[in-house]
Structure 1
Amino acid sequence: MTAPTLDRTATTLAGLVDHTLLAPDATPADVAAHVEAARRMGVLAVCVSPSMLPLADAEGVVVATVVGFPSGKHHSAVKAAEAALAASHGADEIDMVIDLGAAKAGRFDLVEADVAAVRAAAPGVLLKVIIESAALTDEQVVGACRAAESAGADYVKTSTGFHPAGGATEHAVRLMAETVGGRLGVKASGGIRTREQAERMVAAGATRLGLSGTAAVLAGEASEAGGY
């Protein structure tokens, strides 16, 4: 795909983007093309599945991967081991999925312990915590964000993009941003298919965007990709 010609606003947006490829059937050739597209578009980071690491040529872009993805229903020790391995394979950032059931049950102590295990396993890596906001009440969103912050996370993130409840909403982003109060970043991800949606997420408080249809979004076109 030819990279779009970026105006100033699109360039600014590109600097917030994790250009994401988490399709289970992605091949090494797909990932290589994805990284090259990210470089042409001037995005901040690429996010790929952990089995695709290390990346052969990611010069100029931040490398992110996922842990406990997409269900979050993994033992904390397994998530921690996955995070440590990803870090050893060159991951600069990790997006981990919480145990959503623990958050829905109000067991934020378990959410905090889960995040803390990953934090301890990869201390030098920027850690984003996916709370699956569309599946939570406002109270649960606040509790999950507070648990992530207490455990040492750097960002809270709305969604995996795989949950049937949906992805990012302006309301969730605003609530998350208010909860972390600028102490953590906020990543909006899941279902962002247009430039307008992306800009509205930023206006609501998002400091990072997870997009899979990045070129179309930056060009102001509708993307068919879900935006993980």
Structure 2
Amino acid sequence: MSRAPLSATELAAMIDHTLLRPEATHDDVATLIAEAQQYGTWSVCVSPVMLPLDLDMGNVHLAVVCGFPSGQHTSTVKATEAREAIAAGADEVDMVINLGLVKEGRWGDVTADIAAVKQAVPDPKILKVIIESAVLTNDEIVRACKAAEGAGADFVKTSTGFHPKGGASVEAVTIMANTVGGRLGIKASGGIRDYQTACAMVDAGATRLGVSSTATILAGAPQA
């Protein structure tokens, strides 16, 4: 039996309302936060250069990216970036893994890279690990998720939304959900631009959605 369609309120509570364009300004971030408060999203997700935010966040959480978007930073740099973000008020950090290490099969180093950032993001702060699933084989998705779990991460996340290979897919989210088995959250991001796609990701196992087309997505929800 299929579940009832998600309402706009239910879906909004799963959304990280995102602004990561390189040309974004502090005024753009202020608008983002006002929109998040209006829509009732879980958080806003911004670049670390935007912190600290001298703005009333209300009930909206603050997520910040780290090692973004390539992941090709040293672990020390990533950890420092995460630590600074937490000190400046971030509730959550979304880090990018080192995809080169993944492709080389250096899983111990992948885990160590994530663990270094997790040390800078102590509980109850949240660490999400972006695996850039569109670049990975199914086996690499599984192993990247296991590395994130082994390093103490709280979420695994599909994509930055910046890679030319693409963003989230139902297949990738399904593999991730089957791998972490509810022990970690799953964030689908990249290319989610309408209500139907958002719901498909949730049906596949996503517990959080990273989107910039929040208004369009929520407008597609059934009207009460």
TM-score between the two structures when normalised by the length of structure 2? 0.94
Residue 131 of structure 1 and its aligned partner are, at CA, apart by: 0.1
> Structure 2 matches for 1:68-217, cutoff 5 A?
68-124=67-123, 125-217=125-217
Work out the CA distance in 2 between the residues paired with 1:184 and 1:71.
23
Residue segments in structure 2 that go unaligned for 5+ positions in a row: none
Provide closer, same or farther for how the CA distance between residues 8 and 114 of structure 1 changes in structure 2, counting only shifts above 3 A.
closer
The equivalent residue for 1:20 is 18
Residue 214 of structure 1 and its aligned partner are, at CA, apart by: 0.4
Work out the CA distance in 2 between the residues paired with 1:9 and 1:107.
43
Amino acid at match of 1:23: R
Work out the CA distance in 1 between the residues paired with 2:47 and 2:198.
23
Provide closer, same or farther for how the CA distance between residues 199 and 8 of structure 1 changes in structure 2, counting only shifts above 3 A.
closer
Work out the CA distance in 2 between the residues paired with 1:97 and 1:199.
25
Residue 8 of structure 1 and its aligned partner are, at CA, apart by: 6.1
The equivalent residue for 2:45 is 47
The equivalent residue for 1:4 is none
Residue 9 of structure 1 and its aligned partner are, at CA, apart by: 1.2
Work out the CA distance in 1 between the residues paired with 2:10 and 2:143.
31
Work out the CA distance in 2 between the residues paired with 1:107 and 1:186.
23
Provide closer, same or farther for how the CA distance between residues 121 and 8 of structure 1 changes in structure 2, counting only shifts above 3 A.
closer
> Contact 2:47 / 2:65 at 8 angstroms: preserved in 1?
yes
Matched residue of 1:94: which SS?
strand
Amino acid at match of 1:98: I
Amino acid at match of 2:63: A
Residue 55 of structure 1 and its aligned partner are, at CA, apart by: 1.6
Matched residue of 1:24: which SS?
coil
Provide closer, same or farther for how the CA distance between residues 108 and 159 of structure 1 changes in structure 2, counting only shifts above 3 A.
same
Superposed CA RMSD: 1.2
Aligned length: 215
Work out the CA distance in 1 between the residues paired with 2:158 and 2:103.
15
> Contact 2:6 / 2:199 at 8 angstroms: preserved in 1?
no
Query: Which stretch has the larger CA shift, 96-105 or 142-151?
Result: 96-105
The equivalent residue for 1:29 is 27
Residue segments in structure 1 that go unaligned for 5+ positions in a row: 1-6, 222-228
Runs of 4+ in 1 over 6 A off after TM superposition: none
Work out the CA distance in 1 between the residues paired with 2:174 and 2:37.
30
Residue 123 of structure 1 and its aligned partner are, at CA, apart by: 1.1
Deviations 1:90-137 (A, max 9, x none): 000000000011112211111100000000122132000000000000
Work out the CA distance in 1 between the residues paired with 2:202 and 2:108.
30
- Percentage of pairs with the same residue: 60
Provide closer, same or farther for how the CA distance between residues 58 and 180 of structure 1 changes in structure 2, counting only shifts above 3 A.
same
> Contact 2:46 / 2:65 at 8 angstroms: preserved in 1?
yes
Matched residue of 1:55: which SS?
coil
Matched residue of 1:153: which SS?
coil
TM-score between the two structures when normalised by the length of structure 1? 0.92
